[in-house]
Chain A
Amino acid sequence: MRLGKIVATLYCGAVLSLQSYAIFSTTSYNNWYWPFVNYPMYSSSFHAGESFLRVELRAVPCDSPGDVFRLTEDDLHLKWRHFIMLVHKSATVRRADLDTELQPGSEPTTEALLHFIATYVPRHVCRVQVWRQRYTIGPGGLELPGQPWEIAQEWVLTLPGSGGVSVDTTGHKP
């Protein structure tokens, strides 16, 4: 029993020390030594007047252009963060300057996104669109968007005879 208590004491000391280190060494995310992590999620503060964008990725099938469907991270076999990063990067470029031209560095993102669509979406897709809707935190809290969804980015895809997918147009202005 005495040996058991010594082992238990050492184990408890080690666990609590590692957990404390993960927590008290920084207030930003500290996940490297998982499962010993800190919990700073939702710790930023915001103010009235700030806004956020809701972004969706939608696809227009070639055989039925009216039958637009939403694409999620599951459809593209992606991790949520990876998917959000790919989609938001396109949308953010558009949000920042409302320019139709892609900024340097976003082309690989687009290619990656379209690659996943070509690989995992079973229907033939002729156009891929990033839609967005802006929400504002007003004096009374969340304000429902006065403006409808708008296209932030659109790509027109062409299907060559070989079955591959190429991007015909990038940065299409809606």
Chain B
Amino acid sequence: MSSLQRRLVGHWFAPAPILNLAVVRLVLVSMELICLLVPFIAWKVGACNGCSVGYQMILTRIDPSDYLPLPALKVLMLPFGPWGIRPEPMFLRAVWLLAVVTGVTSLLGLYTRLSLSALAATTTLLTAHSYSYGEYHHPEALLTIALWTLVLCPSGSALSLDSMQTRLHIATYGKRFVPLRTVSRESEMAGWPLRLIQWCLALAYFSAGISKLINGGLAWFNGYTLARMIGEDAVERGSALGVWFATQIPLLIVLAMLTVAIELTFFLGVLFPILTPLYVFLGTGMHVGIYVLQRAPFPQLVALYVVFIETFRRQFGAFFQRGRPAPRWAAIYDELCPRCRRTMVFLDSMDWRKRLTFIESEGQWPHASAAAPSRIPDRSPQTLFVIGPDGTIYRDFFGFRKLTGLLPPLWPLWPVLHCPGFRRLGPWIYRLLSDDSAGHVCPAELTGRRVVSGDVPV
């Protein structure tokens, strides 16, 4: 393999954290869902006209002679009729509904690949339909490509119900609980999707920059060009700041040069990670500025900057981690009990702030008892012990109640469980729920427990 080949393979297929891919999935799918569910952003702001079902209904009333279906729409409509068929209103409503449902399941990571495929197909269809009447806009194109890209990669391998289901399966039938932080979470297939989207962004910016040089020439930098463009949009769409900016010729000359410089050299931010934060900052500023001055929205492009997450994690991750060394808590569980292992899977998946250490009581008992200077009172099977940094022991309900303050998804339960009366009621409910899952209770003989007596610390 030549040096160039090695560098190319390293650029595209270097092992990368699958967590990054999952975060990209969450951000991009959220962006798409916002467009689908908030008509104000989709239609009035203009971020994604085609995402609004009301706008789609208007399109269906346009004269058929104005219908010029894009190839993307023709391909997606092929299973439903002849080449070039125009979608019916009811069909578009169903597609929009499917987009919302699959958007939610994609966000949750439930049947992730299937959900993402359906989300990508439906949003492509809706947007392509909105552009099949002679009017085109640009905000959605790259996000659409990015969604299709996520279909082909393991974006559901983390932060998803799919991954939790896999871990639960292992915990139940594999008879072991493996905390997330102890397993390798990198894959050679996790980096290329982000690289691809980064290069698509760089190409899009380069297109914008080179078009200005070719179509506008040097006159594009005379200040009057931006004065006219910003002024016209600002007057039409009601931006007072834009109207003021359109009168600042020297400032507009600088702004024009900065804009084209960012657009033409954005690819440097992809090639040289040290420059990435600068270009992300400048690009975000450019889009925010365009919106504030001209009311032209490109939120999807800003959302797409999440594909630079790895660079930010490497450059700034240590800085944030150094800031708050959080005290660790310990959760002691019964390794031989499948239900306990499953519970640990849930707790582990909710431990976003990495505050918990998991200790299994059977094999790591010395470790477990050492975690609590005041000594754990017994070693009952199927008992949850939560031990604070100061060695205080909380058992069963009281352990769970402590966890509601530690694990962000459980935070809403914290005030409820601290209501007056829950000190008595809570243990009863906890026992009731445990007994409810009596079918999952793991008697020692079924799980192969060594019955220990006499050495239980009191």
A residues apposed to B, CB below 8 Å: 1, 4-5, 7-9, 11-12, 15-16, 19-20, 22-23, 27-29, 31-48, 50, 52, 54, 77-82, 135, 137, 139-142, 144
Contacts and interface: CB of A to CB of B under 8 A. Distances in A.
Interface in B225-247: 225, 227-232, 235-236, 243, 246-247
A50 B236 CA distance: 17
B92 interface: no
B135 A135 contact: no
Range of interface residues on B (Cβ < 8 Å): 35 or more
Contacts of A52: 228, 231-232
Interface in B182-240: 188-189, 192, 195-196, 199-200, 203-208, 210-212, 214-217, 219-220, 222-225, 227-232, 235-236
A32 B70 contact: yes
A78 B135 CA distance: 12
B231 A35 contact: no
A71 to B, nearest CB: 15
Secondary structure dominating the interface of A? loop
B234 to A, nearest CB: 8
B128 interface: yes
11 contacts: A12-B12, A23-B206, A27-B210, A27-B214, A35-B145, A39-B207, A40-B207, A46-B227, A50-B224, A142-B230, A142-B231
Interface stretch (B57-65, B338-346, B415-423): B57-65
Contacts of B225: 44-46
Given A23-B203, A43-B212, A43-B220, A1 B227 contact: no
A38 to B, nearest CB: 5
Contact of B231 (A20, A28, A39, A141): A141
Contacts of B141: 34-37
Contacts of A8: 12-13, 152-153, 189, 192
A155 B370 CA distance: 90
Give the residue among A28, A33, A35, A44 with the most B Cβ atoms within 10 A. Answer: A35
B7 interface: no
A4 B228 CA distance: 50
Nearest to A81: B135
B72 A141 contact: no
A5 B13 contact: yes
A12 B196 CA distance: 6
B133 A27 contact: no
A5 B192 CA distance: 9
A144 B247 CA distance: 10
B228 A38 contact: no
Contacts of B220: 43, 45
A48 B252 CA distance: 13
Contacts of B149: 11, 15
Contacts of A79: 49, 58-59, 62, 133, 135
B211 A43 contact: yes
B249 interface: yes
A132 to B, nearest CB: 12
Nearest to B250: A141
Contacts of B228: 46, 50, 52, 137, 142
Contact of A141 (B49, B152, B204, B249): B249
B437 to A, nearest CB: 39
B200 A40 contact: no
A100 to B, nearest CB: 27
Interface in B113-161: 124, 127-128, 131, 133-136, 138, 140-142, 144-145, 149, 152-153
B374 interface: no
Given A23-B203, A35-B145, A141-B231, A77 B216 contact: no
Contact of B207 (A23, A46, A81, A135): A23
Given A27-B210, A40-B211, A79-B58, A45 B217 contact: yes
Contacts of A81: 134-135
Contacts of A33: 70-72
Contacts of A16: 196, 199-200, 203
Interface in B1-27: 12-13
A141 B246 CA distance: 6
A36 B203 CA distance: 11
Nearest to B46: A80
Given A12-B192, A19-B203, A45-B216, A78 B232 contact: no
